[in-house]
Amino acid sequence: MAEHIAHGDFMGKCTPNCVAPVNNAGLGTVSSTVSAEVSPIVTFGVKAWPNPTENQFTLQVESNSDEKIVVVVYDVLGRAVKYIEKVNGKQVKFGEDLKTGSYFAEIRQGNNRQTIKLIKQ
C-alpha cells in the first residue's frame, strides 16, 4: 500500500476530478499544479554534396538559427584559401576556383562549428 500512496493514490472515497483531497487523514497534502520549463532544442549540422566533386560543392546548413554562416576553407597545409560569409539562407555553393586536392571546410554559425573534409577532383 505504501507504494500506491507514494505515487499519488489516496485512501478514501474517489473525488470528482480524481485528485487527492487537500488533507488525507494526516498523510500530507497533494498539489495538482504541474509546471515545466521548455527550452528549444538547438541543432546544428552540415551536409556537403557532391563530395568529391569536379566543379563545385554545396553546403547545406541545418540549424534553427538565423545568424550569419561563416565558411573558412583550408588546404591540407592548414592555409586558409577561401572565406565566405552567408547572411541569408542555409545553402553555400563554392569551389569552382579551387584546384584539385583535399580541403577542410570549417562552418561556423554563432557558437556552433563543424569541420568537414572536401575533395576536389
List the domains of the chain with CATH numbers: 1-35 (no CATH), 44-120 (2.60.40.3080)
H or E element in which residue 4 lies: helix 2-6
Distance CA(87)–CA(19), nearest Å, equals: 53
Mean pLDDT of the chain: 85
Q: Residue 37: its pLDDT value, please?
A: 72
Q: Residue 33: its pLDDT value, please?
A: 64
118: β partners: 103
Distance CA(89)–CA(35), nearest Å, equals: 36
Q: Residue 42: its pLDDT value, please?
A: 63
* pLDDT-derived band at 40, boundaries 50, 70, 90: low
59: β partners: 48, 92
Is 60 exceeded by the pLDDT of residue 81?
Answer: yes
Distance CA(51)–CA(119), nearest Å, equals: 6
The H helix count followed by the E strand count for the chain is 1, 7
